[in-house]
Amino acid sequence: MILAIKTDTGTAELILCDAAGEIIAREEWQADRTLARDLLGHLEALLQNHTWSDLTGLIVFKGPGSFTGLRIGITVINSIAYAEHIPIVGTQGETWLSEGVKRLRNDDNDEIVLPEYGAPPRITQPKK
């Protein structure tokens, strides 16, 4: 099974697919400012009939999008990939899910996915 996550907007998506990319389960919710608090609970609910060892790959939408949403989602999925030794790929665009499935079938593994925010950071200069 493949777990896919998209947290670039206020609406978060979790998708569970088989190896061919057919969707087994999908959960969307209005996460907005509660993403950090609620993401792991939604993951647990989605995987309630499965274990981490059932997962053969992870897909994450890497941007562009919300700085905080991407940062939280990508950090969580990178942590799962590292802890459970599961291949992970980051993708973009409208076909992010199918592209991710294709990359996993080709045995791609980004090992760690970095977000692509779509704009340079706006860093406030120190006042002193």
Q: Is 1 exposed, middle or buried (CB count within 10 Å of its CB: 0-12, 13-18, 19+)?
A: middle
Single-letter code of the amino acid located at 13: E
The Cα–Cα gap between 19 and 49 comes to 17
Owner of token pair 């609620």: 38
Q: Domains plus CATH for the chain?
A: 2-105 (3.30.420.40)
Mean pLDDT for all residues in the chain: 94
Percent of the chain beyond pLDDT 70?
98
Cβ neighbours of residue 67 under 8 Å, at least 6 residues apart?
115, 117, 121
Backbone angles phi, psi at 89, to 5 degrees: -130, 145
pLDDT mean over 67-74: 94
Tens-digit pLDDT profile for residues 72-128: 999 999 999 999 999 999 999 999 999 999 999 999 999 999 999 888 767 777 787
